Chain A
Amino acid sequence: MEPNGKVLYINYEKCTGCRLCELVCSVVHDGVSNPARSRIRVMKWEAEGLYIPMSCQQCQDAPCMNVCPVKAISRDETLERVMVDYDKCIGCRSCVAVCPFGAMSFDTVDKKVFKCDVCDGDPQCVRFCEEKAVDYVDARELGTLKKRDAARRISIAGKEAAVLLAQA
Chain B
Amino acid sequence: MPLDRKIGYVDLSTGNIEIKPIPLEIRKKFLGGRGLDAYLLYNHTKKGVDPLGPDNVLLFSGGILTATCASATARTHVMAKSPLTGLLGSANMGGFFAPELAWAGFHHIVIKGKARKPVYLWIHNGEIEIRDAKNIWGRTVTDSQWAIRDELGDEEVKCAVCGPAGENLVRFANVMTGIKNSAGRTGMGCVMGSKNLKALAARGTMDIKIAHPTEALEFNKRFIDQIVSAKVNQTQGTLGTPFIWGATNSWGGIRCRNFQLNQCEYADDIEPERLDEIATETIGPYHMTGCFGCQVHCRAQYRIPSGPYAGRYDEGPEYTSQGAFGGEPDCKNAVTVLTGNHLVDQFGMDNLETGSLISWAMELYELGILTQKETDGLDLRFGNDEALLEMIERICYRKGWLGDTLADGGIPASEKIGKNSFDYLIQVKGMSNLHSDERATPALALGIATGSRGSDHLRSRPAIDLYHLPEEVLRKIYGTPVPYDGPLSSEHTAYEGKPWQVFWQENCYMGVDCLGICKYHTTFLGATLPNFEDWSRVLYYNTGLEMTPREIWDVAERCYNIERLFNLREGLKRDNPKKGDTLNHRYFDEPCKLGAPDVVGRTIDREKFQKMIDEYYEHHGWDSDGVPLPETLKRLGLENEPSHLL
Contact = CB atoms under 8 A, between A and B. Distances in A.
Interface in A81-127: 108-109, 124, 127
A2 B206 CA distance: 40
B391 to A, nearest CB: 27
Nearest to B207: A32
A131 B213 CA distance: 23
Contact of A18 (B213, B285, B290, B301): B290
A47 B213 contact: no
B103 A16 contact: no
B-side interface mostly: loop
Given A18-B297, A46-B178, A130-B228, A34 B216 contact: no
Contact of A32 (B146, B208, B286): B208
Nearest to B314: A49
Contact of A16 (B68, B146, B213, B289): B289
A31 B209 CA distance: 6
- Counting chain A CB atoms within 10 Å of each CB, the highest count among B96, B142, B207 belongs to B207
A30 interface: yes
17 contacts: A16-B288, A19-B293, A20-B294, A24-B217, A27-B210, A27-B213, A33-B67, A33-B208, A33-B210, A34-B207, A37-B207, A46-B179, A47-B142, A47-B146, A124-B217, A128-B221, A130-B228
A131 B297 CA distance: 10
B295 interface: yes
A34 B293 contact: no
Interface string B258-296: 000000000000000000000000011110111111110
A151 interface: no
Contacts of A33: 67-69, 103, 207-208, 210
A23 B313 contact: no
A109 B179 contact: no
Given A37-B207, A48-B313, 5 more contacts: A32-B207, A32-B213, A34-B207, A36-B205, A130-B295
A5 interface: no
Contacts of A27: 69, 210, 213, 216-217
Contacts of A109: 207
A47 B313 contact: yes
B297 A34 contact: no
B604 to A, nearest CB: 40
Interface residues of B, number: 39
A63 interface: no
Nearest to A43: B155
A36 B294 CA distance: 19
Interface of A: 13-20, 23-24, 27-28, 30-37, 44, 46-49, 51, 108-109, 124, 127-128, 130-131
A44 B145 CA distance: 14
Contacts of B103: 33-36
B224 interface: yes
A32 B301 contact: no
- Pick the 10 closest A-B CB pairs, nearest first: A36-B205, A32-B207, A16-B297, A33-B208, A31-B213, A18-B290, A49-B301, A16-B290, A130-B295, A20-B293
B557 interface: no
B506 interface: no
Contacts of B615: none
B465 interface: no
B209 A18 contact: no
Nearest to A51: B289
Contacts of A17: 289-290
A15 B289 CA distance: 8
Contacts of B289: 16-18, 49, 51
Contacts of B385: none
Given A37-B207, A46-B179, A28 B290 contact: no
A35 B209 CA distance: 12
A16 B283 CA distance: 13
A23 B209 contact: no
Contact of A30 (B206, B207, B297): B207
Interface in B84-127: 96, 103
B315 interface: yes
Nearest to A11: B286
Nearest to A23: B293
A23 B178 CA distance: 20
Nearest to A109: B207
A20 B294 CA distance: 7
A34 B205 contact: yes
B124 to A, nearest CB: 13
Contacts of A46: 178-179
A119 to B, nearest CB: 11
Nearest to B205: A36
Contacts of B221: 127-128
B209 A128 contact: no
A32 B205 CA distance: 11
Given A33-B207, A130-B295, A23 B67 contact: yes
B371 to A, nearest CB: 42
A18 B516 CA distance: 16
B425 to A, nearest CB: 37
B283 A18 contact: no
Interface in B138-190: 142, 146, 155, 178-179
Interface in B375-417: none
Contacts of B301: 49
B295 A13 contact: no
A49 B313 contact: yes
- Counting chain B CB atoms within 10 Å of each CB, the highest count among A13, A46, A128 belongs to A46
Contacts of B207: 30, 32-34, 37, 109
A17 B293 CA distance: 9
A73 B315 CA distance: 43
A17 B286 CA distance: 12
A27 B69 CA distance: 8
Interface in B191-249: 205-210, 213, 216-217, 220-221, 224, 228
B579 to A, nearest CB: 40
Contacts of B291: 18
B68 A19 contact: no
B203 to A, nearest CB: 10
- Counting chain B CB atoms within 10 Å of each CB, the highest count among A15, A16, A131 belongs to A16
Nearest to B302: A49
Contacts of B67: 23, 33
Interface string B53-74: 0000000000000011100000
A34 B206 contact: yes
